[in-house]
Structure 1
Amino acid sequence: MISFIAKILVSLNSNSRPGELSSGIAFGFTLALIPGGNLLWVAVFAIAFLIKHHLGAMLLSILLFKPLAPLLDPLLHMTGEFILTLPSLRGLFTTLYNLPLLPWFRINNTVVLGALVWSLILWLPIFIVFRLLVVLYRNKVASKLANSKLIKAFKKVPLVSKISSTYRKFNFLT
């Protein structure tokens, strides 16, 4: 687990594009927001592996955002219920539900549909915000952080020094 986190930190300082990191974080947020156990989650997960972005950032953001997802369930439920009960969309949802594979996507579940809607709405803002944060970190914070007394003391811990020597070629903690 420590080496996994170290790889994420390495990628913050490496030559990987900020867009790749932020795309991974945005996909991780989407996967954390959509409840598991349905074909929609599996489809988004498969699509995420077909697009070029940082998979480590995606997996880490799933781990970070997943505990926060239940806090958003009331909002997701209200959004999904609003959309599912729109009279103008009732025929569409009936047709979709009667198709062979679509019931396994569970878009008839208010939380799943609300999560899909909110993840589509928030994907681009999350992408933009984290892209700006990565660029800001690389330009302003990384060099100051590497020279701080806390990091220098942290590098003296035996496990950290071993990991640091392993990732020295990636300019991590050097």
Structure 2
Amino acid sequence: MFRTVIKTLQLLNSETGPWQLAFGASFGLILGLTPLLNLHNLLVLLLICLLRVNISFVLLFMGLSAGFAYLFDNQFHQLGYQLLNSPTLLPLWTDWYNDALLRWSRFNNTVVLGSLVASLLLFFPVAIVVRFAISQYRQRWQKKLEQTRFMQLLKASRWTEAFTKLGE
């Protein structure tokens, strides 16, 4: 956990663009909220590799949102159930289920569909909020935090140096 805090502070203080970090958080949200072994997550991983997204933030937010996913499984199930039982969408679900490739997507599973729709709806709001928070941190709090006694001790610590060398 100590190493994660150090890495996160290094990322926040780095030259990495705020949008790269923000979209990394949003992609991590999708990977964390949805069940991992699904076809749509392969597409998300492909987008992460193609776009300039910070992978450390993807992993950080994937872990954070996976912890919350279990709390909202019932809501994801209800959302997926409503979507799958919608009379207007029933032909779409039938066509997708009859397609061999799309059947692997497991869209007929209420939790998979509900969590994917919820994470897609949250994608841009999370990116905007995270980008705003990073900008505010860099403008207002970064210099103040670096001047605190805790950060000075952390920078001078041999443990911090050892942990950063391990991560390289």
Question: Considering the TM-score relative to the shorter chain, is it more than 0.5?
Answer: yes
Equivalents in 2 of 1:48, 1:115: separation in Å?
19
Structure 2 residue matching 1:87: 3-state secondary structure: coil
The match for 2:69 is 69
Structure 2 residue matching 1:112: 3-state secondary structure: helix
Structure 1 residue matching 2:88: 3-state secondary structure: helix
Aligned residue pairs: how many? 165
Equivalents in 2 of 1:155, 1:14: separation in Å?
15
RMSD of aligned C-alpha atoms?
A: 1.8
The match for 1:171 is none
- Shift in Å at residue 23 of structure 1? 0.4
Structure 1 gap segments, 5+ residues each? 167-174
Alignment of 1:26-65 (within 5 A): 26-65=26-65
The match for 1:113 is 113
The match for 1:169 is none
> Is the Cα–Cα contact under 8 Å of residues 73 and 111 in structure 1 kept in the other structure?
yes
Deviations 1:26-50 (A, max 9, x none): 1001110111222122222222222
> Is the Cα–Cα contact under 8 Å of residues 40 and 106 in structure 1 kept in the other structure?
no
Structure 2 residue matching 1:88: 3-state secondary structure: coil
> Is the Cα–Cα contact under 8 Å of residues 26 and 126 in structure 2 kept in the other structure?
yes
Letter in 2 for 1:149: R
Equivalents in 1 of 2:83, 2:161: separation in Å?
53
Structure 2 gap segments, 5+ residues each? none
- Shift in Å at residue 60 of structure 1? 1.2
TM-score of the superposed pair, with normalisation by structure 1: 0.87
What fraction of aligned residue pairs are identical, expressed as a percent?
A: 35
